[in-house]
Amino acid sequence: MGIEWLKPGVFFGSILFALIGVLVFWISFLVVDKLTPYDLWGEIVKKQNMALAIVVGAMCIAIGMIVAAAIHG
């Protein structure tokens, strides 16, 4: 691999793709949050719903894998 990743075009391209990935992940999470019939954050944090936290965590991992695969090609 060498020192190629230190070139400005490669470095800033990586930063750009990372920001796009985070943005797509956040938007998709908000869409899922709006599609559910209750407030995910309130259920997980205030009511300590561990089962829902596990499901949301698995969903976040899945969305992250999809975004990473889409960016990687």
User: Which residue bears the tokens 């750009």?
Assistant: 16
| Residue 60, φ and ψ in degrees, nearest 5 | -65, -40
In the prediction, which pLDDT does 54 show?
Answer: 94
User: Which residue bears the tokens 């965590």?
Assistant: 57
Q: How far apart are CA 13 and CA 7, in angstroms?
A: 10
Q: How far apart are CA 54 and CA 28, in angstroms?
A: 17
Is the CB of residue 63 less than 8 Å from the CB of residue 22?
Answer: no
Chain-centroid distance of CA 52 in Å reads 17
Quickly state the pLDDT bin for 49 (edges 50, 70, 90): very high
Task: Give the global pTM.
Answer: 0.69
What ranges do the domains of the chain cover?
22-72
Query: pLDDT tens, 13-26?
Result: 888 888 888 898 88
Mean pLDDT of 42-68: 89
Q: Is the pLDDT of residue 8 over 70?
A: yes
